[in-house]
Structures are given as structure tokens and as C-alpha cells.
Amino acid sequence: MSYPYQTLDLPRETRILTIQPSENDNDDIVCSLTHIDIDAASGKYDALSYCWSKSVSNPVAFLDKQFVPLFDTYPETGPPFAKPRDLLGHPELEYWYIRYGGALPAAHICCDGVRVTVSGELFRALKEMRRFYKAMMRPRLWVDALCIDQGSVQERNEHVKVMGKIYANAGIVRVWLGESIGIERGVAEQIKKINTIRNESMQRGYQYDEHPGWAEVEWVVLGQFLSRAWFERIWVVQEIVNAQYALLHCGKVAIDWDPLQILLGYVRQVGLEHKIANPTGLQNVIQMTILRKSRRNENGDVRHDLLMILEAVRNLKATIASDRVYGVLGLLSDPAEIQGIQVDYTKSAVEVFTDLAVDYLQRRKSLAFLSHCILSTRPSAVPKLPLPSWVPDWSTPGWAEPFRARIFPSRAAGNTVPQVIEVNRAAGILRLKGRLLDKIRAVDYTSQVPEMEFAFPEIEPANYPEEPNAMIQKREVHMTARVYKEWANIFLMALTNPPAHEEGNVTFIWDSVKHENLWRTMMCNRTRDLRVPEKDLGAALGPVLKVALDFTKVYSNIAPSLGGSTAAHCVKALSRAGMGEPAREYMENRVWDKELIMMRGHRTWTFHRRFFVSSSGRFGWAVDGTKIGDEVVLFYGCDYPFVMRWDSQKQGWRILGDCYIHGLMNGEGIREGFEEQEFVII
């Protein structure tokens, strides 16, 4: 029998679940639903945040069954044999079933005398809330699966609009991570350890990972904890960001959110995030923390850019693709941001994503959404949606973040405004005016996208100057074999791909102008803190390349294309560019501090991008999937240029993604008379 929901006065009202207390944890769950005024009930209820399905993301197929064979029988004679064990509900072994991704069966509760079926995760969560609230009379809880009439599309649509307010008005947001998997108390211990390390590092002047206590942190435990499915779901972002206070429940263990996110942020700050086996979980905690910190302006209102939020949560999971938009609306309070978005679960994700793009075009008169269009080469279990290339597919992340999402300063189109000629939704066509800037002549395919760690040998850092913080600086400056290979190959590409007008000119040499263009391109002409680098910073690139080239001669098996005479040729080119004897300068002038600035800028702005050389000899960075022959295009009203590909079959252009092209990021493409065109984007 389904629950007989009474009509709500939305958006003013919602329902609250009241759970009857019980002395016995095995008693049936008895509860009731009442209507409340959302604003009047502020602080008078808690809100539950949880996953509807499995609490652990682990795709082990056989765990969908209750019986798992265990080799736990060892007779005195004969070989051991498998004995089936019912792990689900087993007092000692159930945590193995949950740890490996087992799904809990649905269960029943009694709500206002009606037998209601709920998911296994929600049933366990309600049992724990009842136990946790034992000292209280009739705990009041907002639970989406019960407080919203899930059978009414209209009510679901209306509730999405007030979801942010519901969680913001809750006294506590209680996060149910799932039943215990045997590590929860260990997580609490690791949090204490990291807090001690943080405090002592501040008192004693330790920097980065110098504190000896880091060796005692159990990183595996933290990785298992962050592998909980809750950390990967899109809806939980607004639930945490809007929370006044949040508490994580894992079995019978409760952990405060604020200390957890502070200490995980500290782990990232000191550069030890790679120790955690689940980087996605850590990254999402950091992202929620950033949004939570920035959610209030001087007036106390939430102020977020919708496109930036959509990009920030692009890696998270959603059962329904359109929830990638609907699931973050609770983070917005600016009427201008919400006005053009109509929550409608009868629409497909293709319609929802296209509606948003067209809203930016027609109502906001903005092309900002184009920066989030990307040709994704990233493997995904989610089928790609049949969208035109000018509509961002928010369900498919790329390897690289758009420059706009990184808040990279650029005014490529100057003060121009968008010139939209046609928007044809039915045909999937957008016609814009812009300038054709250049063509891709060479692309570096040696860099790893995505980046992976390999146990390559490293150069002995014996020549670094010994100073008080030398250990830290050596660790940051000291590049792995992979990075040396990438930089050396990029230099070789720049050296051997002269501009088209110089092609065949045997006098083409690597001069100081090209050298400066290259080192500025290596960091997109910005330091990590957004400053334009000083000219003397270029003194670092020569030594870095010299070390890299020397390295490839020693380890020619890693970068065979740069071994022997080729590397020597590159070294001579450095000398012709006025680099002198880079290795000696590297030590005597101590330019390694400049290298550190350059490497940080490089890491910040070019992560998971591919270096390219254009036909006119410009250097730049494009998204993975860029090919030789692709074009660099600038649309009027856009802050960033794009790499485009002509589709001869459909007679239209496809957007591959935004790009950096040195010398054309600050309006030069508008001023220097590049060819104006109408672009039919499909």
C-alpha cells in the first residue's frame, strides 16, 4: 500500500518525519509525517543526507547475492573447501559484504499506520537515527524519500526549488555513510594524528611533509573511508554546502564534518594527497569545502556562478543526468541565475542541457557556456548524450578543466560582444561571427593524459644548494623522469617546427625571442598566483632543459627520440639562444628558485593539456584529442579562444575545447586583422 500524501502548500511547506523512540534496536520503525512551514521551523528539525543505493562504490557483481563462498574450512585430511556463508546480517562478517559493495535489501517501516517500503540504506539510517536520538523524545527528521511524494512529478519539481532552504534551515545535517566496515574508529584516530601533526608543524616551523608523524598515518584507512559512495554523489554537495552544522554517521561512529574537511585540506596543502588511494573522494571533499567557504557574501546570501558550480561537480555521479543541473540549484540565490531554469522531470537531459545553453545565449547574451564545451576522451560508463558540440555535456567530464573554471585571466576578444547570427535547436546549429587565428601544426602526444605515476629513475639531486629549507625545495624542484621527458620533447617540437613562412630556411635558429615565447607558454604566462612573470624568470628554462636533455642521454630508453646526437643538437640550440652553460648557471646563480615558480605555474595551468605549435610558429596548450590540422578560432564576446575541427561530411565546425595560444590572449586577435568568418557550429 502506498502512503496517502496530503497536498502541500509549496514552496512554503514541506513534511517532517517524526520517529517514535524504542528501547530495542530490532523493533519495527514506527513514524509519522506532518506538514511544517519551512521558514518557521528553522533549526527545529534535522535533515538526512544519504545514498539511495549502495553505500560503498565497489563493482563486484557477485555481491548482489547474499551468499558468498569463503575458503574457511580446513579438514584434517584432504584439501580445504569453500563453505557458503550468509554474510548479510551476519553479526561478525556483514561488514565484508558491505565493504565489497553489497546492496542491502529493501525493508518496511510503519508510517502513520501504513506499511511503507524503503531502501535498505535508508532503513539502516533510520534505525541508527532512532538509536542515536534515544535520549530525545520523538526526533524530527527531513528525509527526501519520505517527505516528498515521489509519485508526483509536480511535487518533486517544486521541492527541488526549495531543497537548499530545507538543508540550510536544518539544525544539523546528518550524513549517513552506511553501516560499519570495520575502519571507522581508525578514521577517527587518523584525524587526531593529522590534527596533532598540523598543530606541531605550526608551532615548530615544519613545512610541507617534514613532520616525522606523517610516516605513522594509516593512509589506507582514509582511502577506504573516502571510497564511500556518498562522497561521489551530486546531490550531497548542496546538502553539505548549505548546512549550518554537519555530522557524519558511519555505523555507530559519528565524525564532525568541519574538522575532517580542514584536515583533509591540510593533507592537500602539504602535497600528500597522492597517499590517499581514493583521490576522487578527497577532491570532492575539497570542492565542497571551497563552495562552503565561499557561499556567503557580505549580506549573508549565497552567491555562486552556476557554470562554475556545474564544472566543479562534473566528476560526481547522478542517477538521472538532468540532476546535474537540478542538483545544484539549491546553491543559488541570485534570481538572475535561477530565472531561466525550469525544473521539469518530464524533460530529457538533452533538453535540459540545451535549455541552459540557449538561456545563456538569448536571455543573458553571454557565450560563457562555450568555455565548458569539451571533446572528452575520458572513458565513461555513462553513454555520451547526442548533443551538438556547442552545448556542454555536464554528464561527461574531460581530463582538463576549462581555463574559465580555473579563473585564468584572459580577454582574448577584448571588449567585443557576441555576434549570434542563428540558433537552430531543431538542427543543432549555432552560427557565430569570429576570427580564424591559426592552425595546429604539431601536437605533443608524449605527455601522459591522464597523468599516472611510474617508477622511473630520478636524477641524483646532489648539486642542489644546501639551505635551511633545502629538503622541501629539493622535493618540489626535483622532477621525475616523466616530467623531464615531457619538457625535453616539447622543446624538441618547438625547435623543429618553425613557422610556415620560415619552413625550408636552413638559417632558422632558436633565438631569444622564441625562447621567451616558449618559457612563457610553458606556464601560460602566469604564475600560480595569477601574476605575469618577470622577464628574468626565463633564466630558469635553459637550465631546466639542459638538465632534461642530459637526463635523456643517460636514460635514452625512456625518451629514445631525444637520445645521443638529437639531445646534443638541442643543447647547442640553447647556447645559440644566449643560454650560455645552463648547468653551471643552474648551480652558481641558483636559478632553481625561478624554476620552482615556473614549475608551479606550469602545473597549475597546463595540467592534462597538450602542448602544440601552430602554423605561424605560436605555442599553446589545448585539450586532449586535439589533432594536427585543427584550427584556433576566436568568437566575438569570448574571453578564450577555441580549438575547432571542420566536419566535411556535415559541413560544420565542432568545438573541441578552449585553449591557450601565446600572444593572442589579450585582444590581439581582434586588433591584428585576422580573417573574420561566420562559423556554423554543429
Residue 479, all three cell numbers: 622532477
Q: Do residues 36 and 78 share a domain?
A: no
pLDDT value at residue 449: 85
Angle 314-318-320 (CA atoms, 0-180°, nearest 5)?
A: 120
Averaged pLDDT for residues 83-89: 63
Mean pLDDT of 276-288: 86
The reported pLDDT for the residue numbered 592 is 62
What pairing do the DSSP bridges indicate for beta strands 81-86 and 67-73? antiparallel
pLDDT class for 551, splitting at 50, 70, 90? low
- Which pLDDT band, with edges at 50, 70 and 90, does 511 fall under? confident
192 lies in some domain: no
Per-residue model confidence (pLDDT) at position 278: 74
- Distance (Å, whole) CA 381 – CA 487: 33
CB count in 10 Å sphere of residue 573: 22
Q: What is the mean pLDDT of residues 73-97?
A: 66
Whole-angstrom Cα Rg for the chain? 29
Q: Do 398 and 482 belong to one domain? A: no
Q: Write down the pLDDT at residue 569.
A: 55
Q: Which helix (H) or strand (E) holds 357?
A: helix 349-362
Distance CA 337, CA 347 (A): 20
Whether 313 maps to a domain, the answer reads no
User: Which has the higher per-residue pLDDT, 490 or 194?
Assistant: 194
Rounded Cα distance between 598 and 593, Å, is 9
Q: What is the distance between the terminal CA atoms of the chain, rounded to a whole angstrom? A: 49
Q: Is the dihedral of CA 284, 271, 277, 128 positive or negative?
A: negative
| 386 secondary structure, DSSP code | -
Q: Please give the residue that has the higher pLDDT: either 452 or 63.
A: 452
Closest to 630 measured CA to CA, from 646, 651, 615, 608: 646
Same domain? 165 vs 117: yes
Query: Is the pLDDT confidence value at 575 over 80?
Result: no
* Arithmetic mean of pLDDT, 597-604: 88
- pLDDT exceeds 60 at position 505: no
User: What pLDDT, on a 0 to 100 scale, did the predictor assign at position 476?
Assistant: 38
The whole-number pLDDT of residue 471 equals 36
444-464 pLDDT, tens digit per residue, is: 998 888 875 433 333 333 333
Q: Judge if 41 and 105 occupy the same domain.
A: yes
Domain boundary among 121, 139, 171: 171
Give me the pLDDT at residue 563, please: 43
Contacts of the segment 479-484: beta carbons below 8 A, 24+ positions apart: 479/548, 479/599, 480/454, 480/456, 481/454, 481/456, 481/457, 481/551, 481/555, 481/558, 482/448, 482/454, 482/456, 484/459, 484/547, 484/548, 484/551, 484/552, 484/559
CA 376 to mean position of chain CA atoms: 14
Q: Residue 350: which of 385, 384, 374 has the closest Cα?
A: 385
Mean pLDDT calculated for residue range 347-356: 96
Higher pLDDT, 591 or 258: 258
Q: Report pLDDT digits (tens) over 314-333.
A: 989 999 999 999 999 998 87
Among 127-141, 228-242, 256-270, 605-619, where is mean pLDDT lowest?
A: 127-141
High-pLDDT (> 90) share of the chain, %: 56
Q: Count CB-CB contacts under 10 A for residue 84.
A: 10
How large is the average pLDDT for residues 87-104?
Answer: 74
387 and 487 in a common domain? no
In a domain, 54, yes or no: yes
* % of the chain at pLDDT higher than 70: 78
Query: Number of folded domains in the chain?
Result: 4
Residue 276 lies in a domain: no
Domain coverage including residue 598 = 472-605
Q: How many residues does the chain have?
A: 682
Please report whether residue 460 resides in a domain. Answer: no
User: To the nearest whole number, what is the mean pLDDT of the chain?
Assistant: 83
Q: What is residue 73's predicted lDDT score, i.e. its pLDDT? A: 57
Last residue of a domain, one of 549, 580, 605: 605
Amino acid identity of 29? Answer: I
pLDDT on residue 205: 84
Q: Taking a C-beta distance cutoff of 8 angstroms, is the pair 373, 391 a contact?
A: yes
Question: Each residue of 655-681: pLDDT tens digit?
Answer: 999 999 999 999 999 988 898 999 999
CA atoms within 13 A on the CB side of 210: 16
Identify the pLDDT of residue 448.
Answer: 81
Helix (H) or strand (E) holding 292: helix 279-293
406 plus 515 within the same structural domain: no
**316 domain-assigned:** no
pLDDT digits (tens, 9 = 90+) for 364-373: 999 999 999 9
Residue 587 reports pLDDT greater than 90: no
CA proximity to 521, closest of 533, 510, 509: 533
Dump pLDDT digits (tens) for 417-445: 999 999 999 999 999 999 999 999 999 99
Query: Are 494 and 517 spatial neighbours (Cβ–Cβ below 8 Å)?
Result: no
Give me the mean pLDDT over the 273-298 stretch.
Answer: 80
Q: How far apart are CA 306 and CA 308, in angstroms?
A: 5
Q: Looking at the structure, do residues 22 and 149 belong to the same domain, yes or no? A: yes
- State pTM to two decimals: 0.83
Out of 605, 636, 658, a domain closes at 605
Q: Burial level of 659, CB count in 10 A (0-12/13-18/19+)?
A: buried
Residues 80, 105 within the same domain:
no
In a domain, 311, yes or no: no
The whole-number pLDDT of residue 193 equals 95
pLDDT reported for residue 24 = 87
- Where is average pLDDT lowest: 38-42, 92-96, 206-210, 634-638? 92-96
- 158, part of any domain: yes
Task: Specify whether 478 is located in the same domain as 563.
Answer: yes
Q: Do residues 578 and 618 share a domain? A: no
pLDDT of residue 559 exceeding 60, the answer is no
Sign for the pseudo-dihedral over CA of 344, 340, 373, 403: negative
Distance CA 171, CA 577 (A): 65
Whether residue 566 is found in the same domain as residue 635 = no
Please give the pLDDT value at position 67: 45
Residue with cell 638529437: 566
Helical axes 512-522 vs 541-554, angle rounded to 10°: 80
- pLDDT for 61 equals 45
Q: Do residues 539 and 498 share a domain?
A: yes
pLDDT confidence band for 539 (50 / 70 / 90): confident
pLDDT at site 655:
98
Residue 218 has pLDDT above 50, yes or no: yes
Q: Which residue has the cell 533538453?
A: 351
Give the CA angle between residues 406, 411, 413 to the nearest 5°: 130
Most confident of 105-114, 207-216, 294-303, 511-520: 105-114
